[in-house]
Amino acid sequence: MVYQPDFFNSNDDNNVDANSLLDYLQHQPPEVLARVAKSVSPEIKEIISQNVQGLVGVLPSENFEVQVTTNRENLAGLLASAMMTGYFLHKMEQRMHLDEHLSQAGSLNRDAGGADADSDGW
């Protein structure tokens, strides 16, 4: 799913004009937004999907046809929650990869240091 900048073009929200992030997003080329949207890992998409399903309520689709009704404010809150969850998960995924790389670099340094000590006769 790609961010749709025209989605917020409504006259109902006076504070939209004052939102610098929204203004920034509306001035980005569609290619940039598409690239950012595609950068999300399948693991993060799955976690967000499960989280939203948990918030909305999930019944087995083979037995139930669920319809959810809400108002604009509640839907906006749900979407904001999903977006914040996605941002948090993306940052945690980056941290996990950084920790893995640092652990690998640390073990390589220990291995290299151990080899040097052995070659010195210690």
pLDDT in tens, the chain (122 residues): 444 555 555 555 555 556 887 788 888 888 988 887 788 889 988 998 888 888 887 777 788 887 888 899 988 888 888 888 888 998 999 999 999 999 998 888 777 765 544 545 44
Instruction: Please report which residue ranges of 39-71 form alpha helices under DSSP H.
Output: 42-56
Residue 18 confidence (pLDDT): 67
Residue 21, H or E segment: helix 20-26
Please give the structure tokens belonging to residue 71: 């108002």
Contact 67, 79 (CB under 8 A): no
Q: Residue 107, Cβ neighbours under 10 Å: how many?
A: 10
Distance from C-alpha of 113 to C-alpha of 107, rounded to nearest angstrom = 10
Q: What is the pTM of this model?
A: 0.57
